[in-house]
Amino acid sequence: MAVTLSSSVAERYRRFSLYNSPYPAHDTGCAVDFYPETNDGLSPVSGEVLDTKSVRAPPKPYAVEEDHLILISVDEANSPGVRFDDPESDYVARVLHVDPAVEPGDYVEVGESLGEMVRSGFFGQWVDNHVHLGFRRADQNAYRAGGSLPLALDVPVEPLAWDGTGTVVGVGETHALLDSPSHPEPGRYFAGIAADDGRVLDGGVAHYTGGGVLSSPGGDEVATTDAPLSFLEFPVGSVSGRDVHWESFDVVANGERATGLSLFAAQDSRFGAKLVFHEGHEFALGDAVRVELTASDDPIRLG
């Protein structure tokens, strides 16, 4: 990997995901989304702000008209937990979805607020506000959407077994949050919902074309050989390295076809399976839910 982020970076945020997005930067985990506790867009690095840029976002009734890019020249010596394969090169951090309260020439510290996060039309209504982070070498074009460097998170994630059942404890127009599986010790470490073999799943299952598996509790990378993957006793795809290609299947909750499951690594207490629905749902607080996976000739794919 070209860039490695350790636990000291991830622990500043309540959740993270490498794969829970339809955009190319996330296809192979070349970017990470960090979810702070508040709406402050906390900087994951220290360095000088090189530029800020606002772009028109896809029009959505729940979203702002513009999204934003913040470019930061990374001061590696003052950015604990950030490691580059070539320490002799200079690097630029790309931060998205934060309305900049900083200007070119400002020096920002790790953990400092770059501004308020925005509800962007680039992501679904069920997606919480977050800080998108990717890296480029200083000699690369940092404004282009594609081209971020491969990214690794050296962060142990505890696998949590799940049988597909739970009770609805949170609802929105396009999501229903279940109370299961619960985090055994919130705030102590990151945990994630596990596949049948214990590998932690990351991403949109399976409304995005692919997802990923995260590291074991010991922090080791998963095997790099292709291997079948099953979840809820259903064959969901194959793993190559840490990347997963989903097979054709539907996520069904109490007989209702859902758009999918939105999965993260999280350390906060409001942990559980998150059902998402592109066009609304009928679930209410207190409903008992059973989630199953079924074969499909026409699976939902949002990107």
User: What's the gap between Cα 145 and its chain centre?
Assistant: 17
In 3D, which of 207, 229, 177, 163 has the Cα closest to residue 298? 207
**pLDDT 10s digits, 245-289:** 999 999 999 999 999 999 999 999 989 999 999 888 999 999 999
**pLDDT 10s digits, 79-137:** 999 999 998 899 999 999 999 999 999 999 999 999 999 998 888 889 999 999 999 99
The answer to whether residue 272 sits within a structural domain is: yes
Shared domain check, 184 and 92: no
The answer to whether residue 126 sits within a structural domain is: yes
Shared domain check, 7 and 149: yes
Q: Which residue shows structure tokens 């953990």? A: 111
- What is the reported pLDDT for 123? 87
Last residue of a domain, one of 94, 125, 153: 153
User: How confident is residue 222, by pLDDT bands cut at 50, 70 and 90?
Assistant: very low
Average pLDDT score over residue span 286-297: 97
**pLDDT 10s digits, 38-76:** 999 999 999 999 999 999 988 988 889 999 999 999 999
- Domain interval for residue 124: 3-153
**pLDDT 10s digits, 130-188:** 999 999 999 999 999 888 999 999 999 999 999 999 999 999 999 999 999 999 999 99
Across the chain, what does the average pLDDT equal?
Answer: 92
The answer to whether residue 301 sits within a structural domain is: no
Q: What's the pTM value of the predicted model, to 2 decimals?
A: 0.94
CB 80 within 8 A of CB 8: yes
Question: Structurally, how many domains does the chain consist of?
Answer: 2
Last residue of a domain, one of 104, 128, 153: 153
- What is the reported pLDDT for 225? 63
The answer to whether residue 149 sits within a structural domain is: yes
